[in-house]
Structure 1
Amino acid sequence: MSAYYGSGPGDITPDGCAVEFYSLLPPMGEPEIVHAAVPADASILELGCGTGRILRPLAELGHPVLGVDESPAMLARVAELPTVRASIETLRLDRAFDAVLLASTMLNADSARRRAFLQTCRRHVDPHGVVIVQRAEPSWFDTVEPSVREHDGIRRVIKKVHRDGPRVDVVIDYHVGDQTWTHAFSRHPVDERELAADLASARLRLDRWLTDDRTWFAACPETG
């Protein structure tokens, strides 16, 4: 199957994300994790900000923010905050931030894209700043199976799971009221050895884990 596709009401981004669905998603603890990991009033650049699900609460917590996304339909949902339309890999803002955020398990892309994302983080973080990253829980790759889960009025139905070597391809339906969206995507595991190598390739180093399940971590820029 194709690695990424999406269908359902409203705009669908090139990687299969449904804008209408993402505009309904509430924050799920991410703003608090980021806020606790950075100084008060730290400026934050979020890469792949989508509809502002994390960016908006960070601004409400007092952080000067800037969001980046390649989808104009996503950015239209966060028009009250400063944003830039661009791909993450090619982004060059010629300015540095106290913190750069790469959330939504985007780190679990293929190796080349993952390293490009991390290089963009490094280009835009202050030498004394921090990069905050979320990855998929390592055990997910072995345990994810077709299933049904409901939370906050959203019914998630994992319809298909296909393993191709270490990569996992998933097809999931999201149901909200009488609306349904389908999203197919791939995730690549990143073990700690690979993570260290990928960070080093971008002149970053792991600083600390931010959650007990090791899904969130902070990285610092290498200097000199």
Structure 2
Amino acid sequence: MNSSPSSRPSWQLPTGVTRGSLDYIESAAIADGYDEDLAFGSDFQFDEETIANFIPPEGLVADLGCGTARALIPLVRRGNRGLAVDLSPEMLRIVAEKAKQEQLDIACVEANLCELDMIADQSVDHAICMFSTLGMIKGADNRRTFLDHTYRMLKPGGRFVVHVHNFWFNLFEPNGAYWLASHLVKSRMTKGMERGDKYYRYRGIPNFFLHVFSKGEFARALKQSGFKVVRQIPLRMDRQAELSNAWLFGGWRASGWIALCEK
């Protein structure tokens, strides 16, 4: 019998995954309510349109950290083949049920995003990593490993769409200025903490982990793994459109970015 995340010693946690994040990943209740929660909380039509306009309508698309494949399914419906990759067997269960119901060409792979060696070099046409999944990976080195894997598995000319949240947007959150000031001090003095590491309650899960990025940090991470960043789209607060007048303190005002990249 597998031990629960809360009882596992730290060295047994998957690479790049915190204890709170593992509680989230292994929760059947989170997976079962995921689509309903997203539908209630926000409209991701802008994300879908952005992906559809950038990813060609043919070839294999890997959804890395797919959740319930909310971003992948519209692509497969229009003609792409899908590869749904996630560490959560519960999320993949939902994906398999959706694929069977609609007879969609989606293969599921249960894997840690930091350990994608089972996916062959240049075997994927395009990839997506949405809903700040990149930020759920703890540690810059682990995020670099994931991005290196993504670059490796893409065919030459392959396209990659990835979303993250903005570190400086915390200024516009309740008590955000205080959090930023204290976090900047704490991250310099605390071993193992990077600027942008956040722990908070999310969908009932305590100590959920998310790393939030500055615009430059995000672009550098992608370029270090070899990607050409075609465009870094600043997002409005509600994420339902591109931020207007981004030239005016857009690095602070954007809630996050969607990066459109090529190999």
TM-score (norm 2): 0.64
Match of 2:208 among 185, 189, 196: 185
Equivalent residue runs for 1:30-179 within 5 Å: 30-79=47-96, 80=99, 81-92=106-117, 93-94=119-120, 95-108=122-135, 109=137, 110-145=139-174, 163=183, 164-165=186-187, 166-172=195-201, 174=203
- Checking the alignment, whether the CA contact within 8 Å between 1:100 and 1:124 is kept in structure 2 is no
| Worse-superposed segment, 85-94 or 52-61 | 52-61
Q: For residues 12 and 186 of structure 1, do their structure 2 counterparts lie closer, same or farther at Cα, with a shift above 3 Å needed?
A: closer
- String of CA shifts for 1:150-179, please: whole Å, max 9, x gaps: xxxxxxxxxx998443335343454xxxxx
**Aligned twin of 1:154:** none
Secondary structure at the residue paired with 1:5?
helix
**Aligned twin of 2:260:** 218
TM-score (norm 1): 0.74
Secondary structure at the residue paired with 2:259?
strand
- Checking the alignment, whether the CA contact within 8 Å between 1:89 and 1:116 is kept in structure 2 is yes
**Aligned twin of 1:151:** none
The reply to whether residue 20 of structure 1 matches residue 47 of structure 2 is: no
Residue 74 of structure 1: how far off its partner (Å): 1.1
**Number of aligned positions between the proteins:** 199
Query: Matches of 1:173 and 1:137 in 2, distance apart?
Result: 17
Q: Which runs of 5+ in 2 are unaligned?
A: 1-9, 11-17, 100-105, 188-194, 235-241, 244-255
Secondary structure at the residue paired with 1:49?
coil
Q: For residues 168 and 90 of structure 1, do their structure 2 counterparts lie closer, same or farther at Cα, with a shift above 3 Å needed?
A: closer
- Checking the alignment, whether the CA contact within 8 Å between 2:113 and 2:146 is kept in structure 1 is yes
Residue 219 of structure 1: how far off its partner (Å): 1.5
Match of 2:223 among 183, 190, 200: 200
Query: Matches of 1:131 and 1:207 in 2, distance apart?
Result: 10
Secondary structure at the residue paired with 1:89?
coil
Secondary structure at the residue paired with 1:135?
strand
**Aligned twin of 1:5:** 20
Partner amino acid, structure 1, of 2:261 = A
Q: For residues 146 and 74 of structure 1, do their structure 2 counterparts lie closer, same or farther at Cα, with a shift above 3 Å needed?
A: farther
Residue 18 of structure 1: how far off its partner (Å): 2.2
Partner amino acid, structure 2, of 1:58 = L
Partner amino acid, structure 2, of 1:68 = V
Q: Which runs of 5+ in 1 are unaligned?
A: 148-159, 175-180
Residue 144 of structure 1: how far off its partner (Å): 3.0
Query: Matches of 1:191 and 1:17 in 2, distance apart?
Result: 32
Residue 12 of structure 1: how far off its partner (Å): 4.1
- String of CA shifts for 1:50-93, please: whole Å, max 9, x gaps: 12222222222322111101111110101123111111111131
Q: For residues 96 and 15 of structure 1, do their structure 2 counterparts lie closer, same or farther at Cα, with a shift above 3 Å needed?
A: farther
- Checking the alignment, whether the CA contact within 8 Å between 1:5 and 1:15 is kept in structure 2 is no
Query: Matches of 2:200 and 2:167 in 1, distance apart?
Result: 19
Q: For residues 216 and 15 of structure 1, do their structure 2 counterparts lie closer, same or farther at Cα, with a shift above 3 Å needed?
A: farther
**Backbone CA RMSD of aligned residues:** 3.3
- Identity fraction in percent: 22
